Copies of this chain bind each other. A is one copy, B any other.
Amino acid sequence: MLRCDYTIAIDAMGGENSPDKVIEGLSFFLKEENNIFFTIFGKESLLIKSIHKYKLTKSKNFEIVDCSTQIEDKYSVRDSIKVGKDSSMWKAIESVKNKKSDLVISSGNTGALLVISKLLIKMIEGIDKPALAGLWPNKKGTSIVLDLGANIEFSEKNYIDFSKIGALLYRSIFGKASPTVGLLNVGLEEIKGHEELKNAFNKLNSSNNYFEFKGYIEGNQIKDGDVDIIVTDGFTGNIALKTAEGTVNFINNEIKKIFSSTLLGKICYLISYFIFKKIKKNLDPRKFNGGIFLGLNAPVIKSHGSADSLAFYYSIKLSAKILKGELINKIKVNF
């Protein structure tokens, strides 16, 4: 076994087109970096086939752990816990618990991933709830938004904890010493949000932190890039994320519809082909693949179930950054 700085446990069986997309994504990463070791959990026969297909055989940066079962997307969390102990997801998380790996990635069942991770890896002392954080492209770069759906019920402490954890995640990934934090709120004059939000605002406003507290921000400001970390409850965050996705999809659809509805449109599209290709590349959501469960004793990365190999590669890249940025140590020191 190769000696590397970090080991990442990969559940190779979750989501669509696995394990092929997982192994291909890993092959992209291993062409660029070789200081991270991967333990791949899944059905050995399928993994070996994929490994040959994507010519991973040349690399010494991985090992396979054969797992007889997998947690299906349709499983309830209860069933996942009951029948999942021999599954690739469980075994991958367990390897983090046993300190054989530093981080786990899965494109499988989100609820099961969160609950089994909490069960095995446990919360960092002082943090109540895990957050699901994500990277959002904005006009100036990238921001981190959390919580994207891990917690529906939200307390004043959650807002404060998530502001702190979000700031440390930002610092780990982007290296900015004192990033800016904002709380998402509504803009109608008479409505200033829930009690918990207002209390959190007052506390964050009056305390010194390792981040710069910018107060409230509204939904239309998320993409401006003036705030690095945007904190909200899991219900609102999840709906904001998906509304943004749906809006991008809607606009793409409108643009396509109009360009393809006339001959002139079709010609213009052909002429502008390379420009559109560049726009598509710049806005490619696969670059931002990877939800990060935060607050546990190790980072847990959720790759989108429908993510392809390139998207999976980006979630590995993100994982590597988080490990190199020493996120967990940073959180432990500050809580």
- Give A contacts to B, CB under 8 Å: 76-77, 109-112, 114-115, 132, 137-139, 149-150, 152-153, 184, 186-191, 193-194, 218-224, 232, 234-236, 238-251, 253-255, 258-259, 262, 264-265, 268-269, 271-272, 274-275, 278-279, 282-283
Contacts and interface: CB of A to CB of B under 8 A. Distances in A.
A247 B254 CA distance: 15
Given A251-B251, A272-B268, A219 B191 contact: no
Contact of A265 (B150, B243, B275): B275
Contacts of A219: 238-246
Contact of A282 (B153, B188, B221, B258): B258
Nearest to A255: B279
Given A186-B234, A243-B244, A251-B251, 8 more contacts: A109-B189, A110-B190, A149-B187, A186-B238, A218-B239, A222-B246, A223-B247, A262-B275
Contacts of A264: 274-275
A223 B152 CA distance: 23
B235 A186 contact: yes
A191 B272 contact: no
Nearest to A114: B190
A48 B116 CA distance: 70
A250 B138 contact: yes
A245 B220 contact: yes
A262 B277 CA distance: 14
Given A243-B243, A271-B268, A235 B110 contact: no
Contact of A247 (B247, B253, B262): B247
- Please give me the 9 A-B residue pairs with the lowest Cβ-Cβ distance, nearest first: A219-B242, A111-B189, A111-B190, A220-B246, A223-B250, A219-B243, A268-B272, A186-B238, A220-B242
Given A221-B246, A244-B243, A235 B238 contact: no
Copy number in the complex reads: 2
B242 A244 contact: no
A11 to B, nearest CB: 16
Contact of A248 (B152, B218, B247): B247
Nearest to A137: B250
Nearest to A150: B188
Contact of A184 (B187, B239, B283): B239
A17 B287 CA distance: 42
A193 B275 contact: no
B236 A239 contact: yes
